[in-house]
Structure 1
Amino acid sequence: MQNKAEGDPEKLPAIPLENVAENSFEAVNEKRSHEEPFPPYSPDMENQVLRKMDTRIIPMLSVLYLLAFLDRGNIGNAKIEGLLDDLHMTGPQYSWCLTVFFLTYCAFELPSNLLLKKMRPSRWLPLLMVAWGVVMTLMGVVQNYAGLLATRIFLGIAEAGLYPGVAYYITLWYPRHRAQYRQALFFSAASIAGAFSGILAYTIAKMDGVGGYAGWRWIFILEGLLTVVVAFIAPFGIHDFPETAKFLTQEERNCVIHMLRTQNTGDTAAEATEFRIKYVVDALLDWQIYVSLFGIVVLRPPMRSRLTPLLVYWGITCPLYGISFFLPSIIKDLGYTSSTAQLLTVPIYITAAVVAVIAAWHSDRRKQRSPSILFFMGLIAIGFVIVLASTGRGVPGVVYFGVFVSVIGIYPAFPGNITWLSVNLAGDYKRASGMALQIGLGNLAGAMASNFYRTQDSPKYILGHALELGFCVLGMIAVVVLRISYRTVNRKRDRMDVSRYDEAEMEKMGDRSPMFRYML
């Protein structure tokens, strides 16, 4: 419990629920910024509150992302159930249907995250679900290539705001040294979706001919309708702000706010949270976002002029989407039937989900991000090396093992990378913009990966595997570059004289404050 010598929790400033629940982020943040500092809380009290939030916040977010990833990637399952033949499509046309999703997906992520700041998450996120669920259902009744292409374009628009929105939403509840474990719990839904997708597709495909529809059509229709149904339940499982969370007591709400206030500098200065276009511009111009994306070295002269096109995010998302869209086809082309290929994806994704959660817990415990990311990107690379070395040698089990190793590396590395950037951006709007920008531009890798595994390259897919390996290796180099960058800035700030800054000035500086330290 709280240290009584520091103050009576019953006398802490109250944050009344009435007239607040309907307010915007700005109103809640304005209220937070004028509160008096809270006395420190014991680790046991903080852990108790965090566990309570985990049980009330993470499950619904995981369900949302599970459905989103399921709906985004089930086209890979539909492909091996006859989609291309029924719509008279070619391999390049199928790749275009995958590619256009990411063009609109990337374009609408930043606007969506800014809208999340203006609207309540419990309204905006379910609204997005209804939109993509309807689009997914309509995908099951398309009659030609043009129809499938159009629905994929609109699916990208509808899904654009979910992942960056939820990833940012988590940072509003959890301090930065506790964030990766929660991001992994949420993101592990993607790997569960991969497993569930195989089982579900295997089952639904048996409806072939029901109602005059092919089995692959029922995959889209039933999974789309499921999303719409969950969307109407979601508002009851999404809580907008710690200040308005009815499942927390007053003392617990104060404890959450205290953890969020002290996460960056160790004092109780709040971050600047009111909207200014300056914060969006700051995010667009922030060097660390582009190093995280492309590995561009932007330190201090003379290194500022050296632009090294590396790819941290792309080194993870290229393999992620390549595997997501083509894993059933890769396994089928090893000589297995369609139904067996669907089922063989299940153990890969289940194992990846478990490893991702364990790795994130360890990373939070050590308060380090880059070592974990580098290790699991190494697994991705090792997996693709195994695949390339064994492909075409009559050992399908070894190829399968190589893919297994790569996926185990992908799913822990992805939330680690997202968390690494999010914890190093200070200020609500800058963080919202920066995360949307990173995820938006980063997901252009999905557009590239959609074209890596060409039909004419089956069953070996040498080009696709080699490209995935190349992006991963460049990404590993960029992880090292980014860590060195952060460490250099931290050491410089350790030597700075902060006496010439006042508290209000440093608050407005966000992560550029001399009191802010980047997490390595």
Structure 2
Amino acid sequence: MGKVDTEGPPPTKVVPDVTSTDELSATEKGDAALQILRQSGGLQQPLDSERSRRLLRRIDYHIMPLICVVYFLQYLDKIAISYGSVTGLKTSAHLVGNQFNWVASIFFFGQLGFEFPTIRLLQMFPLAKYVSVNVTIWGIILACFSACKSYGSLLACRFLLGMAEAAIVPAWVVFTSQWYRKEESAFRVGIWFSMCGWAQLLGGCFAYGVATHVGGDVHASLKGWQVIFLVLGLLTVVVGILFFFLLPDSPAVARFLSDQEKAEHVERLRGNEQGIGSQTFKWDQFREALTDINTWLYAFWIFAANIPNSIATSFGNILVTGMGYSKVDSLLLVTPLGAYEIVVLVGVTYVAMKTQQRLWCCIATHIPSIVGGILMAATGKASALVGYYLSGGIPIGWTTILGLQASNVAGSTKKITVTAIGTIAYTVGNIISPQTFQAKDAPRYLPAKISIVILYFLCTVDLYLIRLVYVYRNKKRDAEAAQRAPDYVPEKNHEFLDLTDIQNPEFRYSL
């Protein structure tokens, strides 16, 4: 297949009402939205703002709770290893030296190894069904942690857990782009990503309860860390099974929407210039994803921001105990980090939705996180703890990147590839992350804290560069549009031909 023309008009034909054999072929090669329009016969009446709002509320009611619950469990299951570290896991498994660091890191080796296979499987199989199977499998694996009594068994379970969770972030980006318009997606990503904060908040309270009631009972048949893994694992299995039956794979098969509402939904998404998805893998889109500078700017932010990520996941409790607090108290003291994260994620993404300036909002929110990193490195106890909480603002950048991947990356294969590359950057950053907390640097871990400040600064600069690229491309396309003939008319249904953001000259990037 030839090289993709990065800024010229796409070599596609006009798609009128989809009825003929040739047009049906175009439907198969294009987006699933074309199939919806063909089956429904299009809108019976124009879509007004009130009907659009009513449809949006209906989608929020049926979709958001499900994807929020699963993302909540995904993060809670990931940080369970941190709770285990202060409730007896290290002693029971006879971990010494930096072995706990490798138990934390190997999760991301599993995620890294399975990331590219999973992006193909996400396109091949019904999206929600594939994810639900993965959720159920990771719940079973998590429950198996309660039987781990050695370094080797912990490594094996963490590796398998990473493989099972590899599908989540790419799938959630696709879900968001399937169901929401560009101006709606940032706030919705903020909502489901804020589940990380809720997991930090509620998970810490749960672990504290287990530590004080089970951990203090010498006659208990299960230790505190075993109870944590068993309860969370079994809960995840139940949610995975429910997810299989409750969440539709795409708007095209959503039982809670009538045929006319599906057509209305397609019209709502027309302005996204990217439809609702295609199961056809396109090599030209794959190559374009690899050569687009934004792919690597996204990836750099994700990589750099996740190197310090252990302060919230596997090393959160250890870091707080190093500030001079007890192990049991650390289970509660980490919870305000989650509360601050919730406020920042929901509040800032809401402001970004209203102002349509998500990148400026995100850059502004990074500044307190840089200050927090400095406080952790330069001060002790109470001041360092405040700095630890301020670092909870950095995930706003992660939600911004995910939102940009949902709204500013078009083309089904390109979107899933860009998201997978970002997830690989995420896993590599998280593999490195625990290794920055070397046992010889305990209890302050000063080198790790200094690296946090530097990385947060670089992340902020990266966001500014992403915005510069968007502004440049939008201005260039606006200038090209101004030079077109007055009678120029865009191709009919070009929004649903599964074109990439670069192939489609009508596409404009959200800032």
- TM class by shorter chain equals 0.7 to 0.9
Deviates more, 1:470-479 or 1:416-425: 416-425
Cα distance 1:426–1:28, how it changes in 2: closer, same or farther (>3 A)? closer
Paired residue for 1:473, among 452, 457, 462? 457
103, 128, 137: which one pairs with 1:97? 103
Matches within 5 A, 1:298-309: none
Letter in 1 for 2:214: M
Deviations 1:292-317, CA, capped at 9 Å, x for gaps: 223xxxxxxxxxxxxxxxxx223432
The corresponding residue for 2:78 is 72
Q: Give the alignment of 1:248-397 within 5 angstroms.
A: 248-264=257-273, 274-294=280-300, 312-391=301-380, 396-397=381-382
In the alignment, residue 286 of structure 2 is paired with which amino acid?
V
User: Is residue 111–residue 162 contact of structure 2 (8 Å, CA) maintained in 1?
Assistant: yes
* Structure with more relative contact order (C-alpha pairs < 8 Å, separation 6 or more): 2
Which residue of 428, 443, 449 maps to 2:412?
A: 428
- Give the alignment of 1:160-175 within 5 angstroms: 160-175=166-181
- Is residue 2:398 matched to residue 1:414? yes
Q: How far 1:271 moved relative to its partner?
A: 8.0
Question: For the Cα contact (< 8 Å) 2:141–2:161, is it kept in 1?
Answer: yes
CA–CA separation in structure 1 for the residues paired with 2:127 and 2:499: 27
Within 2, Cα distance between the matches of 1:398 and 1:474?
24
* 3-state SS, counterpart of residue 450 of structure 1: helix
Structure 1 residue 494, shift from structure 2 partner: 1.5
- 1:188 aligned partner, one-letter code: S
Spell out the pairing of 1:102-121 with structure 2 (5 A cutoff). 102-121=108-127
Q: How does 1:40-51 map to 2 (within 5 A)?
A: 40-51=46-57
Conservation of the 8 A alpha-carbon contact between 1:427 and 1:510: yes
| Count of residue pairs the alignment pairs up | 474
Q: What is aligned with 1:192?
A: 198
- Tell me if structure 2 keeps the 8 A contact 1:425–1:511: yes
Match of 1:243 in 2: 252
Cα 1:456–1:242 change in 2 (3 A) is same
Whole-angstrom distance in 2 between the partners of 1:137 and 1:121: 25
Distance in 2 (CA, whole Å) between partners of 1:212 and 1:160 is: 34
Equivalent AA in structure 1 for residue 491 of structure 2: E
- 2:221 alignment partner AA: G
Which SS does the other structure have where 1:495 is aligned?
Answer: helix
Q: 1:40 to 1:448 in 2, by over 3 A?
A: farther
Q: Is the 8 A contact 1:121 1:238 kept in 2?
A: no
How much has 1:37 moved relative to structure 2?
5.9
| Superposition deviation, residue 26 in structure 1 | 8.0
Identity %: 24
- The alpha carbon displacement at 1:40 in A equals 4.8
- Structure 1 residue 321: Cα displacement: 3.7
Deviations 1:409-432 (A, max 9, x none): 123222112112331111122212
Q: 1:399 aligns with which of 373, 381, 384?
A: 384
Alignment match, 2:222: 213
Please tell me the residue identity of whatever aligns with 2:384: V
What do the CA deviations read for 1:169-193 (whole angstroms, capped 9, x no partner)?
1211111221011111111111111
Aligned with 1:58 (options 64, 67, 86): 64
Aligned to 1:88: 94
Shift of 1:210: 5.9
Unaligned runs of 5+ in 1: 1-12, 15-23, 295-311
Rounded Cα–Cα distance in structure 1 between residues aligned with 2:322 and 2:93: 21
Which residue does 1:181 correspond to in 2?
Answer: 187
CA deviation after TM superposition for structure 1 residue 27, in Å: 8.7
My pick for the range that moved more, 164-173 or 493-502, is 493-502
In structure 2, list runs of 5 or more residues that go unmatched. Answer: 1-16, 19-27
AA at the equivalent of 1:241: S
Partner SS for 2:315: helix
What is the identity, as a one-letter code, of the residue corresponding to 1:214?
Answer: K
**Could you tell me how far apart the structure 2 residues matched to 1:339 and 1:272 are?**
50
